[in-house]
Amino acid sequence: MLVVMKAHATPEEVRAVCQKIESIGYRAHTIPGAERTAIGVTGNKGEIEPGTLDEMAGVQEVIKVTKPYKLVSRDCKQENTVITFPGTDATFGGKGLAVIAGPCSIESREQAFIIAERVHAAGAQFFRGGAYKPRTSPYSFQGMEEEGLRIMAEIRDKFGLKIVTEAIDHESLALVEEYADVIQIGARNMQNFSLLKRAGRSRKPVLLKRGMAATLEEFLMAAEYVMSEGNYNVALCERGVRTFADHTRNTLDLSIVPAVQRLSHLPILVDPSHGTGKRNKVTPLSRAAVAVGADGLIIEVHHDPDKALSDGMQSLYPEQFEELMTQVRQIAPVVGRTVPAIGIHAPAASIAAKPVGNQLGRAL
């Protein structure tokens, strides 16, 4: 913590602040500047509650310095976390780009299978589909619940797709960890700390979406909650934030990808479907997400979006998803990534090109 004094602060005021700091149990380091004095505070483990320093005579401002994150930080672990999925070569955070695709909601066995077949054929390694839907309105379709999870488990059996689906409370999390391969925590629950702790006690990897107004620090601290309970397989996901801009449903903040990669060893994926909320923006922003260096994409696909029970507006048609995969396959090598070949989930290295240079991909 740093206490910045006013230009005209008297030596007595500086002394009083130093005494206050030491009375709380920290050490004060006076740094006299040309115009004003600053006082560094050390000796704290973790955050200091600045208490009343802010209001003492002569104090201009109190600036927090110590970062609260530990386990998520590259200070704690230098090398990238790579989450692997037994029986496949798919990863979150490895050389291969993770591609997750599927409908917003599981609406029926037939709908889920039609879509799964198409996205599998186009090269997705993961199938997404909501069984528990956090909807703005209580009168909207809330998901098929366990029946939806069962359908997705069948899809895994048939197509070899790994299943990613959202848990919204302790009860649904217990079922999701039973049926699925990845537990998704949605944006609206990013600071549902009770749910984060529960996910931290699970053995399944967690895909944690950024909250709509979450700073980078809050996003990382949400991951810290999961890790602090012992589950180190956490992947982050940017899905757009709230801004004044009204041409998209949310503003997709791609700059968080290199920002996360600089501070943390955790993988970071991007969801351009929620990130834009408009079908015609999903493909361009997916290309951009790969180009910026994201570890994967999560894309909503529906074969009949007019009849979708949720998010029809932002779902790609299967043929649009295929086209997107074609484009992604061309961009990925530029950032040193591989993309699985069509419909084959065995070693996908064949398409990989030599990365352009050492500044790419996850370089710090």
Give the footprint of its own copies on residues 239-258 (CB under 8 A). 241-248, 251-258
203 binds its own copies (CB under 8 A): no
Q: Of 47-55, 86-94, 112-120, 175-183, which part binds its own copies (CB under 8 A)? A: 47-55
Kindly write out the interface string for residues 78-117 of this chain, putting x where it contacts its own copies by CB under 8 A and - elsewhere.
----------------------------------------
351 binds its own copies (CB under 8 A): no
The three state secondary structure string of the chain is: CEEEECCCCCHHHHHHHHHHHHHCCCEEEEEECCCCEEEEEECCCCCCCCCCHHHCCCEEEEECCCCCCCCCECCCCCCCCCEECCCCCCEECCCECEEEEECCECCCHHHHHHHHHHHHHHCCCEEECECCCCCCCCCCCCCCCHHHHHHHHHHHHHHCCEEEEECCCHHHHHHHHHHCCEEEECHHHCCCHHHHHHHHCCCCCEEEECCCCCCHHHHHHHHHHHHHCCCCCEEEEECCECCCCCCCCCECCCCHHHHHHHHECCCEEECHHHHHCCHHHHHHHHHHHHHHCCCEEEEEECCCHHHCCCCHHHCECHHHHHHHHHHHHHHHHHHCCECCCCCCCCCCHHHCCCCCCCCCCCCC
Number of residues in contact with its own copies under rule CB under 8 A: 126
Beta carbon of residue 128, minimum distance to its own copies (angstroms, whole number): 18
Beta carbon of residue 156, minimum distance to its own copies (angstroms, whole number): 25
22 binds its own copies (CB under 8 A): no
Which of 110, 139, 157, 203: binder of its own copies (CB under 8 A)? Answer: 139
199 binds its own copies (CB under 8 A): no
195 binds its own copies (CB under 8 A): yes
Answer for the pair 298, 164: CB distance below 8 angstroms, yes or no.
yes
Beta carbon of residue 35, minimum distance to its own copies (angstroms, whole number): 7
Kindly write out the interface string for residues 149-188 of this chain, putting x where it contacts its own copies by CB under 8 A and - elsewhere.
-------------------xxxxx---------------x
Distance in angstroms (rounded) separating the CA atoms of residues 286 and 327: 9
Answer for the pair 177, 153: CB distance below 8 angstroms, yes or no.
no
Q: Which residues face 217 on adjacent strands?
A: none
Nearer to its own copies, 12 or 158 (CB): 12
Q: Which of residues 275-294 bind its own copies (CB under 8 A)?
A: 275-276, 278-281, 283-285, 287-293
Nearer to its own copies, 16 or 288 (CB): 288
Kindly write out the interface string for residues 117-136 of this chain, putting x where it contacts its own copies by CB under 8 A and - elsewhere.
-----------------xxx
228 binds its own copies (CB under 8 A): yes
Q: Which of residues 328-347 bind its own copies (CB under 8 A)?
A: 330-331, 333-335
Beta carbon of residue 116, minimum distance to its own copies (angstroms, whole number): 21
Which of 117, 197, 342, 352: binder of its own copies (CB under 8 A)? Answer: 197
Per-residue tokens: 83: 């989450």
Nearer to its own copies, 86 or 354 (CB): 354
Distance in angstroms (rounded) separating the CA atoms of residues 206 and 270: 15
25 binds its own copies (CB under 8 A): no
63 binds its own copies (CB under 8 A): yes
Nearer to its own copies, 77 or 156 (CB): 77
